[in-house]
Amino acid sequence: MKYGIVLTYGDAREAADLAGEAERAGWDGFFVWEPIWGIDAWVALTAAAMRTATIRLGTMLSPLPILKPWKLAGEAATLDRLSGGRVILSVGLGAAADTGFASFGEPVDRKTRAELLDEGLDVLTGLWQGQPFHYHGRHYHIEPTEFYPPPPPVQQPRVPIWVVGAWPREKSLNRALKYDGILPVAMGAGHEILPLTPEHVRELAAYAAAHREQSGHFDIVVEGKTPGADPAAAADQVLPWADAGATWWIEADWDIPRNPLADPVIEKLRQRIRQGPPAE
């Protein structure tokens, strides 16, 4: 089991400072939120890369359907080279209802966003393979370009990609299985989100072992909040997930207010980081 922590609020300077603290405290990954607008996630991660040496760096997560996949490809590859191959890219449909997609004229229809996610992943990974690259989908049409191709990512065959996957929806799961990890959500008969349990993860791990065609390591990434002031209780909370097959625990406190004038947000995050990961 590896352990990451999410910077749920903070600018690039704070990301650099807290990423360094996280590395010293023994965390394996440092992740930042990528909102529809606001503090730029990739600038923040670049600042973090300059203050760290070993910790993995990534987004949690990038809403690919509203991003230009060619721009994201360049950002991730550039940071991967700068950091010496430490980037993880997490992608999903994005929480359209909660993050203001409609306010900015972005698509909110689930089917359209799923199509954009699939095509965006095709474009992203295709560009990392080098020129010439062309693509013709429903939403993206790319002709071979003449510009000088940027250097590829350090990590090969690609920067690891974690994809949100809905259990037990086969189409969603099979999308994630094409890449390097899954951020699982449990869904009911409709589109309602259910509480994820270790048993869901156990079933998902078995499904991945039976259906994943690609070789190599595959991450199952779960997210939650542990009591950092009680290390034994924190470790006990995470243990059932590790036993079920999860490979990463992402510590994320989305309840922390994002208004720094209303609450000492950064100091709360710093305190949790210094308490260390919920390991045994």
Could you report the per-residue pLDDT of 196-213, keeping only the tens digit for each?
Answer: 999 999 999 999 999 999
Q: Which residues of the chain are in CATH 3.20.20.30 domains? A: 2-164+222-275
SS3 (DSSP) at 223? strand
Non-local (6+) Cβ contacts of 185 within 8 A are: 164, 165, 166, 167, 193, 196
**Neighbour count for residue 264 (Cβ, 10 Å):** 13
C-alpha separations of 63 from 121, 224, 238 in Å: 11, 20, 27
Percent of the chain clearing pLDDT 70 (strictly above): 91
Give pLDDT, residue 153. Answer: 96
Q: CA-CA distance, 188 to 176, in Å (whole number)?
A: 19
Assign a CATH topology to domain 2-164+222-275: TIM Barrel (3.20.20)
Q: For residue 243, is pLDDT > 70?
A: yes
- pLDDT tens by residue, 118-130: 999 999 999 998 8
| φ and ψ at residue 213, rounded to 5 degrees | -85, -35
- Burial of 246 per CB tally in 10 Å (0-12, 13-18, 19+): buried
**Could you tell me if 166 and 174 are in contact, meaning their C-beta atoms sit under 8 angstroms apart?**
no
Contact 59, 90 (CB under 8 A): yes
Question: Is the pLDDT reported for residue 97 higher than 80?
Answer: no
pLDDT at 101 over 80: no
Phi, psi (rounded to 5 degrees) for 220: -115, 115
Angle at 242 between CA 187 and CA 210, to 5 degrees: 60
More confident residue, 122 or 189: 122
Res 110: pLDDT:
81
Q: What is the mean pLDDT of residues 82-98?
A: 87
